[in-house]
A and B are shown apart, each in its own frame.
Chain A
Amino acid sequence: MSQEPVISWKTAGILLGLLLTFATYAYKPLGVSSQYVVTDGVIAHKIAPEKAEQNEYLAAKVGKNDWQIGSGWMLVFGMFLGGGIAAFATRRFHPKDESEIPSMWASKFGNSKGKRWFYAFLGGVFLLFGARLAGGCTSGHMISGISQLAISSLIFGVAIFASGIFTAKMLYRSKGVNNNG
């Protein structure tokens, strides 16, 4: 089963831009990363309500919504449904060669699932710490934010790609060979 895109970047980009415009009209600009905080906050409040309420950040982000999920969380849940349905409909669900370890990763770092899962988990920690420090992620800051011409989002976008490109080049550099070209 192929994992190749079934619509071009042009089509996907135009559709995403139109969806963002519709969302900004009927709802609000797209955003994902704050829902990780909401998920944490709702769980924390179930386990230890007082501790959760004492946390300034959780209280501001989740407490205002009475420690319950809202429409923003439904948007992220919708992404899960929409992504799954799209993959299933185009017969690209659970691709054999990519579902456990991406083949590109395996060719460089080996077939250890534990190793891939560890770095995926670590990547997730960095992603959400960075996103919360900035106040948004690729969706809310970069795509929605730059589309609103926000200066903070332009700075964030440049910093993400500077750091992401550097890290990717370091990960996939060939040993002893200059790989800048």
Chain B
Amino acid sequence: MDKMLLGLLIGAGFGAILQLGGASNYKKILGSLLLKDLTVIKLILTAIAVGTIGIYLLDFFGIANMDIKPTYTSGIIVAGLIFGVGFALAGYCPGTCIVGASEGKTDAVFVILGGLLGAAIYAVVFPLMNKTFNITANASNEITLATVFNVENGIWVAIPFSLIMIFLSFKLLKDRYGEMPS
């Protein structure tokens, strides 16, 4: 199938799942970050539980198109801290604001516009960031839990990891709606 059409169809499925599952809902995102309504966190952990098994089964048969992000620890931590501030301020992430905008939410449109500016600022200061956090120098540092544990077939790490994710989302994490701000 044509790559452009395939991308469009996968994206449409992705957008529909996020919309129907409530991931593009400000209250659901803030509810998760305030640790009151954990719907979105549990949705993410469940997706990871299924995705981990699915991807490593594909990998087991050698048919996965993996894309492992390189590790440059201090840069990744700083990036996550900055992203988290934006996550709480916006109540969307870079994908769910696209869905929010498609539902007619005007604040989601401003998140997209801010995002275009944030990405442009990053493009301008990239040389400084690259020097500070050694990003391109670590481009091939694609380590996973499987390489850390020195396991050749990732599926043997994926299965216990998936079970932990299921335990977290189905058993350990509990909602506390009563304390949710209105």
User: Which A residues fall within an 8 A CB radius of B?
Assistant: 3-33, 36-37, 39-41, 44, 55-58, 70-87, 90, 92-95, 98-105, 107-108, 113, 116-169, 171-172, 181
Interface pair A28/B65, CB less than 8 Å apart: yes
Cross-chain contact of A123 among B56, B92, B182 (Cβ < 8 A): B92
Q: A78-B12, A82-B19, A134-B75 are in contact. Are A149 and B122 (CB under 8 A)?
A: no
Interface pair B15/A150, CB less than 8 Å apart: no
Chain A residue contacts of B34, Cβ below 8 A: 165, 168-169, 172
22 pairs of residues in contact across A and B, judged by CB atoms under 8 Å: A10-B42, A24-B51, A24-B55, A27-B10, A29-B66, A39-B119, A57-B122, A57-B123, A104-B26, A124-B116, A125-B115, A126-B82, A126-B114, A128-B115, A134-B69, A148-B144, A150-B144, A159-B77, A161-B84, A162-B84, A167-B89, A169-B33
Question: How near does chain B come to A167, taking the closest CB pair, in angstroms?
Answer: 4
User: Which B residues fall within an 8 A CB radius of A?
Assistant: 1, 3-28, 30, 33-35, 39-58, 63-73, 75-108, 110-124, 126-127, 129, 133, 135, 142-146, 148, 154, 157-158, 161, 169-170, 179, 181-182
Closest 9 A/B residue pairs (Cβ): A17-B50, A124-B114, A78-B11, A159-B80, A13-B46, A163-B84, A123-B90, A21-B54, A12-B21
B contacts with A: majority SS: helix
Question: How near does chain A come to B118, taking the closest CB pair, in angstroms?
Answer: 3
Interface pair B83/A105, CB less than 8 Å apart: no
Interface pair B17/A163, CB less than 8 Å apart: no
Look across to chain B and name the residue whose beta carbon is closest to the beta carbon of A104: B27
Chain A residue contacts of B88, Cβ below 8 A: 123, 163-165, 167-168, 171
Interface pair A120/B69, CB less than 8 Å apart: no
Q: A30-B14, A127-B87, A127-B90 are in contact. Are A13 and B148 (CB under 8 A)?
A: no
Q: A135-B70, A150-B142, A171-B88 are in contact. Are A25 and B103 (CB under 8 A)?
A: no
A contacts with B: majority SS: helix
Interface pair B7/A74, CB less than 8 Å apart: yes
Chain A residue contacts of B100, Cβ below 8 A: 83
Interface pair B68/A17, CB less than 8 Å apart: no
Interface pair B8/A77, CB less than 8 Å apart: yes
